[in-house]
Chains A and B, each alone.
Chain A
Protein backbone atom coordinates (compact mmCIF):
# COMPACT_ATOMS: atom_id res chain seq x y z
CA UNK A 1 0.00 0.00 0.00
CA UNK A 2 1.43 3.39 -0.98
CA UNK A 3 2.06 6.29 1.37
CA UNK A 4 -0.68 8.23 -0.37
CA UNK A 5 -3.25 5.53 0.30
CA UNK A 6 -2.08 5.40 3.94
CA UNK A 7 -2.79 9.13 4.24
CA UNK A 8 -6.13 8.74 2.49
CA UNK A 9 -7.10 5.95 4.87
CA UNK A 10 -6.15 8.03 7.92
CA UNK A 11 -8.17 10.94 6.58
CA UNK A 12 -11.13 8.57 6.10
CA UNK A 13 -10.59 7.27 9.60
CA UNK A 14 -10.71 10.80 11.04
CA UNK A 15 -13.93 11.47 9.14
CA UNK A 16 -15.39 8.19 10.36
CA UNK A 17 -14.54 9.08 13.96
CA UNK A 18 -16.12 12.50 13.50
CA UNK A 19 -19.20 10.83 12.05
CA UNK A 20 -19.88 8.78 15.18
CA UNK A 21 -22.78 10.52 16.86
CA UNK A 22 -22.56 11.54 20.48
CA UNK A 23 -24.96 9.54 22.66
CA UNK A 24 -28.17 11.22 23.78
CA UNK A 25 -28.51 12.27 27.41
CA UNK A 26 -30.97 9.47 28.44
CA UNK A 27 -30.70 10.38 32.11
CA UNK A 28 -26.92 10.33 32.26
CA UNK A 29 -26.60 13.94 33.49
CA UNK A 30 -29.28 13.33 36.14
CA UNK A 31 -27.43 10.24 37.36
CA UNK A 32 -24.18 12.20 37.68
CA UNK A 33 -26.00 15.02 39.52
CA UNK A 34 -27.47 12.50 41.96
CA UNK A 35 -24.04 11.01 42.65
CA UNK A 36 -22.52 14.48 43.13
CA UNK A 37 -25.30 15.42 45.58
CA UNK A 38 -24.82 12.16 47.48
CA UNK A 39 -21.08 12.71 47.68
CA UNK A 40 -21.53 16.28 48.92
CA UNK A 41 -23.95 15.10 51.61
CA UNK A 42 -21.41 12.47 52.65
CA UNK A 43 -18.64 15.05 52.79
CA UNK A 44 -20.81 17.36 54.90
CA UNK A 45 -21.60 14.51 57.29
CA UNK A 46 -17.88 13.76 57.45
CA UNK A 47 -17.12 17.33 58.51
CA UNK A 48 -19.72 17.15 61.27
CA UNK A 49 -18.48 13.75 62.41
CA UNK A 50 -14.91 15.03 62.53
CA UNK A 51 -15.98 18.10 64.51
CA UNK A 52 -17.86 15.87 66.95
CA UNK A 53 -14.86 13.55 67.26
CA UNK A 54 -12.58 16.50 67.97
CA UNK A 55 -14.97 17.81 70.62
CA UNK A 56 -15.16 14.44 72.34
CA UNK A 57 -11.39 13.97 72.09
CA UNK A 58 -10.81 17.48 73.42
CA UNK A 59 -13.15 16.90 76.35
CA UNK A 60 -11.47 13.58 77.13
CA UNK A 61 -8.03 15.19 76.92
CA UNK A 62 -9.08 18.05 79.17
CA UNK A 63 -10.53 15.63 81.72
CA UNK A 64 -7.35 13.56 81.67
CA UNK A 65 -5.17 16.66 81.97
CA UNK A 66 -7.26 17.89 84.86
CA UNK A 67 -6.99 14.55 86.66
CA UNK A 68 -3.26 14.48 86.02
CA UNK A 69 -2.83 18.03 87.24
CA UNK A 70 -4.75 17.21 90.39
CA UNK A 71 -2.43 14.31 91.19
CA UNK A 72 0.90 15.30 89.77
CA UNK A 73 0.42 19.07 89.64
CA UNK A 74 1.90 19.96 93.01
CA UNK A 75 4.90 17.74 92.36
CA UNK A 76 5.48 19.20 88.91
CA UNK A 77 5.09 22.74 90.19
CA UNK A 78 7.63 22.01 92.88
CA UNK A 79 10.02 20.59 90.34
CA UNK A 80 9.64 23.58 88.02
CA UNK A 81 10.06 25.86 91.01
CA UNK A 82 13.24 24.07 91.96
CA UNK A 83 14.55 24.33 88.44
CA UNK A 84 13.74 28.03 88.31
CA UNK A 85 15.40 28.67 91.66
CA UNK A 86 18.47 26.69 90.65
CA UNK A 87 18.84 28.54 87.38
CA UNK A 88 18.21 31.89 89.00
CA UNK A 89 20.77 31.28 91.72
CA UNK A 90 23.29 30.06 89.18
CA UNK A 91 22.75 33.21 87.13
CA UNK A 92 22.91 35.44 90.19
CA UNK A 93 26.18 33.86 91.22
CA UNK A 94 27.50 34.52 87.73
CA UNK A 95 28.09 30.83 87.37
CA UNK A 96 26.37 30.02 84.05
CA UNK A 97 27.45 26.47 84.17
CA UNK A 98 26.77 23.73 81.69
CA UNK A 99 24.39 22.17 84.20
CA UNK A 100 22.14 25.20 84.39
CA UNK A 101 22.22 25.66 80.64
CA UNK A 102 21.36 22.06 79.97
CA UNK A 103 18.53 22.23 82.49
CA UNK A 104 16.99 25.20 80.68
CA UNK A 105 17.60 23.61 77.31
CA UNK A 106 16.00 20.37 78.42
CA UNK A 107 12.87 22.16 79.57
CA UNK A 108 12.74 24.27 76.41
CA UNK A 109 13.25 21.27 74.13
CA UNK A 110 10.65 19.32 76.03
CA UNK A 111 8.12 22.12 75.60
CA UNK A 112 9.05 22.48 71.92
CA UNK A 113 8.77 18.73 71.36
CA UNK A 114 5.38 18.63 73.00
CA UNK A 115 4.20 21.50 70.86
CA UNK A 116 5.52 19.97 67.63
CA UNK A 117 4.08 16.58 68.54
CA UNK A 118 0.70 18.14 69.20
CA UNK A 119 0.72 19.97 65.88
CA UNK A 120 1.79 16.83 64.01
CA UNK A 121 -0.90 14.75 65.71
CA UNK A 122 -3.52 17.41 64.92
CA UNK A 123 -2.53 17.54 61.25
CA UNK A 124 -2.48 13.77 60.97
CA UNK A 125 -5.98 13.55 62.38
CA UNK A 126 -7.23 16.49 60.32
CA UNK A 127 -5.87 14.95 57.09
Chain B
Protein backbone atom coordinates (compact mmCIF):
# COMPACT_ATOMS: atom_id res chain seq x y z
CA UNK B 1 0.00 0.00 0.00
CA UNK B 2 1.51 3.27 -1.05
CA UNK B 3 2.20 5.96 1.53
CA UNK B 4 -0.10 8.90 1.15
CA UNK B 5 -3.14 6.68 1.00
CA UNK B 6 -2.68 5.76 4.64
CA UNK B 7 -3.78 8.30 7.20
CA UNK B 8 -1.65 7.06 10.05
CA UNK B 9 -3.80 8.34 12.85
CA UNK B 10 -7.01 6.74 11.62
CA UNK B 11 -5.66 3.76 9.69
CA UNK B 12 -6.57 0.28 10.87
CA UNK B 13 -3.81 -1.90 12.26
CA UNK B 14 -4.06 -4.13 9.18
CA UNK B 15 -3.51 -1.14 6.90
CA UNK B 16 -0.51 -0.05 8.96
CA UNK B 17 0.98 -3.53 8.79
CA UNK B 18 0.54 -3.73 5.03
CA UNK B 19 2.14 -0.31 4.60
CA UNK B 20 4.99 -1.27 6.94
CA UNK B 21 5.52 -4.43 4.92
CA UNK B 22 6.06 -2.09 1.96
CA UNK B 23 8.85 -0.51 4.09
CA UNK B 24 6.85 2.53 5.20
CA UNK B 25 8.70 3.63 8.34
CA UNK B 26 5.95 6.06 9.34
CA UNK B 27 3.35 3.30 9.32
CA UNK B 28 5.63 1.09 11.35
CA UNK B 29 6.18 3.93 13.82
CA UNK B 30 2.42 4.26 14.27
CA UNK B 31 2.14 0.50 14.71
CA UNK B 32 4.82 0.62 17.42
CA UNK B 33 2.96 3.48 19.10
CA UNK B 34 -0.22 1.43 19.26
CA UNK B 35 1.37 -1.85 20.27
CA UNK B 36 4.16 -0.67 22.56
CA UNK B 37 2.05 -0.83 25.72
CA UNK B 38 1.09 -4.45 25.18
CA UNK B 39 4.58 -5.47 24.04
CA UNK B 40 6.36 -3.76 26.92
CA UNK B 41 3.88 -5.12 29.45
CA UNK B 42 4.46 -8.62 28.09
CA UNK B 43 8.22 -8.27 28.42
CA UNK B 44 8.00 -6.54 31.80
CA UNK B 45 6.20 -9.60 33.13
CA UNK B 46 8.93 -11.83 31.74
CA UNK B 47 11.88 -9.73 32.89
CA UNK B 48 12.90 -8.87 36.39
CA UNK B 49 13.57 -5.22 35.56
CA UNK B 50 11.59 -2.68 33.56
CA UNK B 51 14.72 -1.25 31.95
CA UNK B 52 15.75 -4.66 30.65
CA UNK B 53 12.20 -5.30 29.43
CA UNK B 54 12.11 -2.03 27.50
CA UNK B 55 15.50 -2.76 25.89
CA UNK B 56 14.25 -6.17 24.82
CA UNK B 57 10.98 -4.66 23.56
CA UNK B 58 12.96 -2.26 21.36
CA UNK B 59 15.04 -5.16 20.08
CA UNK B 60 11.88 -7.17 19.37
CA UNK B 61 10.36 -4.31 17.39
CA UNK B 62 13.55 -3.96 15.35
CA UNK B 63 13.46 -7.67 14.56
CA UNK B 64 9.80 -7.36 13.65
CA UNK B 65 10.67 -4.55 11.23
CA UNK B 66 13.33 -6.70 9.59
CA UNK B 67 11.07 -9.73 9.28
CA UNK B 68 7.74 -8.04 8.63
CA UNK B 69 7.61 -9.49 5.13
CA UNK B 70 7.46 -12.97 6.66
CA UNK B 71 4.13 -12.12 8.29
CA UNK B 72 1.53 -13.75 6.08
CA UNK B 73 -1.57 -11.96 7.30
CA UNK B 74 -1.99 -8.81 9.41
CA UNK B 75 -4.50 -10.65 11.60
CA UNK B 76 -1.67 -12.87 12.84
CA UNK B 77 0.44 -9.93 14.01
CA UNK B 78 -0.11 -10.35 17.76
CA UNK B 79 0.88 -14.02 17.83
CA UNK B 80 3.73 -13.45 15.41
CA UNK B 81 5.11 -10.57 17.46
CA UNK B 82 4.68 -12.48 20.72
CA UNK B 83 6.88 -15.22 19.27
CA UNK B 84 9.53 -12.63 18.35
CA UNK B 85 9.35 -11.12 21.84
CA UNK B 86 9.75 -14.52 23.49
CA UNK B 87 12.65 -15.43 21.19
CA UNK B 88 14.33 -12.10 21.96
CA UNK B 89 13.88 -12.73 25.68
CA UNK B 90 15.21 -16.30 25.45
CA UNK B 91 18.24 -15.23 23.42
CA UNK B 92 19.08 -12.51 25.92
CA UNK B 93 18.75 -14.91 28.83
CA UNK B 94 20.75 -17.65 27.16
CA UNK B 95 23.45 -15.15 26.37
CA UNK B 96 23.45 -14.05 29.99
CA UNK B 97 23.39 -17.42 31.72
CA UNK B 98 21.18 -20.10 30.22
CA UNK B 99 17.50 -20.58 30.91
CA UNK B 100 17.83 -24.35 30.83
CA UNK B 101 19.79 -24.29 34.05
CA UNK B 102 18.38 -26.30 36.91
CA UNK B 103 15.96 -24.19 38.86
CA UNK B 104 16.75 -23.34 42.40
CA UNK B 105 13.53 -24.33 44.12
CA UNK B 106 14.82 -23.38 47.52
CA UNK B 107 14.75 -19.70 46.61
CA UNK B 108 13.48 -17.88 49.69
CA UNK B 109 10.35 -15.81 49.49
CA UNK B 110 10.80 -12.15 50.18
CA UNK B 111 9.52 -10.99 53.50
CA UNK B 112 9.78 -7.27 53.07
CA UNK B 113 6.20 -6.66 51.96
CA UNK B 114 5.13 -3.32 53.31
CA UNK B 115 1.47 -4.16 53.84
CA UNK B 116 -0.20 -2.74 50.73
CA UNK B 117 -3.91 -2.43 51.20
CA UNK B 118 -5.04 -0.21 48.36
CA UNK B 119 -6.25 -1.46 44.98
CA UNK B 120 -2.82 -0.70 43.52
CA UNK B 121 -1.41 -3.08 46.08
CA UNK B 122 -2.46 -6.14 44.13
CA UNK B 123 -0.62 -4.91 41.05
CA UNK B 124 2.51 -4.07 42.99
CA UNK B 125 2.29 -7.37 44.81
CA UNK B 126 2.03 -9.36 41.62
CA UNK B 127 4.92 -7.49 40.02
CA UNK B 128 7.00 -8.04 43.14
CA UNK B 129 5.96 -11.66 43.35
CA UNK B 130 6.98 -12.20 39.74
CA UNK B 131 10.51 -11.11 40.56
CA UNK B 132 10.74 -14.08 42.93
CA UNK B 133 10.40 -16.54 40.07
CA UNK B 134 13.25 -17.85 37.97
CA UNK B 135 13.43 -16.63 34.36
CA UNK B 136 11.94 -19.85 33.05
CA UNK B 137 9.11 -19.84 35.57
CA UNK B 138 8.30 -16.20 34.93
CA UNK B 139 8.26 -16.76 31.19
CA UNK B 140 5.97 -19.80 31.35
CA UNK B 141 3.67 -18.35 34.03
CA UNK B 142 3.30 -15.12 32.03
CA UNK B 143 2.54 -16.92 28.78
CA UNK B 144 0.09 -19.23 30.53
CA UNK B 145 -1.74 -16.91 32.93
CA UNK B 146 -1.31 -13.49 31.31
CA UNK B 147 -1.36 -14.40 27.63
CA UNK B 148 -3.67 -17.39 27.99
CA UNK B 149 -1.49 -19.81 26.04
CA UNK B 150 -1.85 -23.55 26.51
CA UNK B 151 1.07 -25.76 27.51
CA UNK B 152 1.41 -26.98 23.92
CA UNK B 153 1.46 -23.41 22.60
CA UNK B 154 4.16 -22.48 25.12
CA UNK B 155 6.21 -25.48 24.03
CA UNK B 156 5.83 -24.34 20.43
CA UNK B 157 6.74 -20.72 21.10
CA UNK B 158 9.64 -21.31 23.51
CA UNK B 159 11.11 -24.58 22.28
CA UNK B 160 11.25 -25.84 25.89
CA UNK B 161 10.24 -29.48 26.54
CA UNK B 162 6.65 -30.06 27.67
CA UNK B 163 7.77 -31.43 31.04
CA UNK B 164 9.87 -28.34 31.69
CA UNK B 165 7.01 -26.02 30.74
CA UNK B 166 4.60 -27.83 33.06
CA UNK B 167 7.15 -27.82 35.85
CA UNK B 168 7.87 -24.09 35.40
CA UNK B 169 4.16 -23.27 35.47
CA UNK B 170 3.44 -25.43 38.50
CA UNK B 171 6.39 -24.21 40.53
CA UNK B 172 5.91 -20.61 39.45
CA UNK B 173 2.20 -20.63 40.25
CA UNK B 174 2.91 -22.28 43.57
CA UNK B 175 5.47 -19.62 44.49
CA UNK B 176 3.02 -16.88 43.55
CA UNK B 177 0.31 -18.58 45.60
CA UNK B 178 2.59 -18.80 48.62
CA UNK B 179 3.59 -15.19 48.29
CA UNK B 180 0.20 -13.72 47.44
CA UNK B 181 -2.03 -15.74 49.74
CA UNK B 182 -3.49 -13.68 52.60
CA UNK B 183 -1.38 -13.78 55.73
CA UNK B 184 1.64 -15.27 53.99
CA UNK B 185 3.78 -12.39 55.17
CA UNK B 186 1.74 -11.10 58.02
CA UNK B 187 4.65 -11.30 60.40
Binding site for B on A (CB under 8 A): 1, 9-10, 13-14, 16-25, 28-33, 35-37, 39-40
- On whether the beta carbons of B54 and A33 are closer than 8 Å, the reply is no
Instruction: Considering the complex, give the chain A residue whose CB is closest to the CB of B20.
Output: A36
Which residues on A sit within 8 Å (CB–CB) of B54? 23, 28
Indicate if the CB atoms of A33 and B29 lie closer than 8 Å. Answer: yes
Decide: A13 and B40 in contact? CB cutoff 8 A: no
Query: What is the bound-complex CA distance between A39 and B58, given in angstroms?
Result: 13
Among B31-39, B69-77, B87-95, B97-105, the stretch in contact with A = B31-39
> At the interface, is chain A mostly helix, strand, loop or mixed?
helix
With an 8 A cutoff between CB atoms, is B62 at the interface?
yes
Cβ distance A108 to chain B, nearest Cβ, rounded Å: 41
A13 with B173, Cβ < 8 A, contacts A22-B41, A23-B40 known: yes
In the complex, 9 of the A-B residue pairs with CB atoms within 8 angstroms, ordered by the A residue number, are: A9-B177, A17-B45, A19-B123, A20-B45, A23-B50, A28-B58, A29-B33, A36-B62, A40-B25
B173 touches A10 (CB 8 A): yes
The answer to whether B126 touches A22 (Cβ under 8 A) is no
When A and B form their complex, what is the total count of cross-chain residue pairs whose Cβ atoms lie within 8 Å?
Answer: 87
- Best-surrounded residue of A9, A36, A37 (most CB of chain B within 10 A): A36
Interface members, chain B 15-48 (any A CB < 8 Å): 23, 25, 28-29, 32-33, 36-38, 40-41, 44-45
Q: Which residues of A contact B36 (CB under 8 A)?
A: 23, 25, 28-29, 32
In addition to A9-B180, A40-B23, 17 A-B residue pairs with Cβ atoms within 8 Å of each other are A9-B181, A13-B176, A20-B45, A20-B123, A20-B127, A21-B123, A23-B44, A25-B36, A28-B32, A28-B40, A28-B54, A29-B33, A32-B32, A32-B36, A36-B25, A36-B29, A39-B65
Complex Cα spacing A88 to B142, Å: 78
Q: Kindly state the separation between the CA atoms of A20 and B54 in the bound complex, as whole angstroms.
A: 16
A125 to chain B, nearest CB (A): 21
In the complex formed, the residue of B with least CB distance to A9 is B177
Per the bound structure, the CA–CA distance linking A39 and B54 in Å amounts to 19
A35's nearest neighbour on chain B, judged by CB, is B62
Q: In the complex, how many angstroms separate the beta carbon of A46 from the nearest chain B beta carbon?
A: 13
- Complex Cα–Cα for A30 and B127 (A): 26
Query: When the two chains form their complex, are residues B126 and A16 in contact, meaning their CB atoms are under 8 A apart?
Result: yes
Q: Which 6 A-B pairs have the closest CB atoms?
A: A22-B37, A17-B146, A29-B33, A33-B29, A29-B32, A22-B41
Q: Please, which residue of chain B has its CB at the minimum distance from the CB of A20?
A: B123
